[in-house]
Amino acid sequence: MNIEKIRQGARGNIGREILFYPVIDSTNTAGLEKALTSEEGLVILADSQLKGKGRLGRTWVSPPGLNIYMSIVLKPLIELADATLITITSAVACSIALRNISGLEITIKWPNDLMFQNRKIGGILTELKSELKKIVFAVVGIGINVNSELKDFPEDIRRMATSLRNETKKSFSRTEIIIELLNELNKWYAVLASDREIIIDKWKELSSTIGRKVKVVSGQETLEGIAEDINEKGMLILKLLTGEQKKIVSGDLIVLS
């Protein structure tokens, strides 16, 4: 991983400053610790993580030398109620970047999973600090399975996970992928500030969720229905079997058919 080449290749604020760690507990944890005293756009990269974070308290498996583990500090001027849009925007940018690099049709499973043919190839974890309904900062963690082989994944997730290498039978430069990711993130983060409708439309275009029968576990509630849409805030519009529509802010989504 060539950090100087990444820094030079990033066109925008995101990636202007990069901190690299050969090994770290979690890039998101480091981002949360540094966010208040850092400029927007700080990128934290690691070759491996000891305590990589997934959503809902899960672990993100992070072996050295193979994949991308990255977190970005953002300070968006949007309301706390619109925080889901940070993840929506990041997912759009990542999906497009990975398509550009690999040629694979990477899709998005609401709210944060990057998928190829129903197998997870990457994920996004957004953590934030807020005050008085305003976002002070957000840390966007991005994990991409680049050069892992199936044997590198824990046995219990092998049927659900994949990597760029596994799908194309080719090895990829993490440096080149990170540059592409940062440039797409710079582009789409600027769009978030000017016209979020463009982002929502692009997300729908890239989605593998809309129109599918799904189960969503949200807090103590489990719901089933058709994923009809997302609204202007990035909430999932779920049509229940009763015909009622529910707006889901966050949750664990399983595609049923």
Kindly report the pTM of this predicted structure: 0.91
β strands within the chain, DSSP E = 18-21, 43-46, 68-74, 107-109, 113-116, 119-131, 134-144, 213-218, 221-230, 236-240, 245-248, 252-255
CA pair distance 16, 166, nearest whole angstrom: 31
- The SS3 of residue 212 is coil
**Range 213-255: architecture per CATH:** Roll (2.30)
Half-sphere exposure at residue 111, Cβ-oriented, CA atoms within 13 angstroms: 29
In the numeric block, which tokens belong to residue 141? 């963690």
Q: Where are the alpha helices (DSSP H) in 103-207?
A: 164-168, 174-194, 196-206
CA pair distance 119, 108, nearest whole angstrom: 11
- DSSP structural state of residue 19: E
Q: Which amino acid is at 50?
A: L
Phi, psi of 231 (to 5 degrees): -95, -170
Q: Domain spans of the chain?
A: 3-206, 213-255
CA pair distance 40, 120, nearest whole angstrom: 29
* Domain spanning 3-206, CATH class: alpha beta
Write the Ramachandran bin of 29: left for phi over 0, alpha for psi from -120 to 50, otherwise beta: alpha
pLDDT digits (tens), the chain, 257 positions: 899 999 999 989 999 999 999 998 899 999 999 999 999 999 999 999 887 666 555 666 677 889 999 999 999 988 898 999 999 999 999 999 999 999 999 999 988 899 999 899 999 999 999 988 899 999 999 999 999 888 887 777 778 889 999 999 999 999 999 999 999 999 999 999 889 999 999 999 999 999 999 998 887 888 899 999 999 888 899 999 888 999 988 888 888 88
CA pair distance 7, 189, nearest whole angstrom: 18
Question: In terms of Cα–Cα distance, which of 73, 64, 68 is closest to 14?
Answer: 73
Return the bridge partners of 215, or none.
224, 254
The answer to whether the CB of 75 falls within 8 A of the CB of 51 is: no
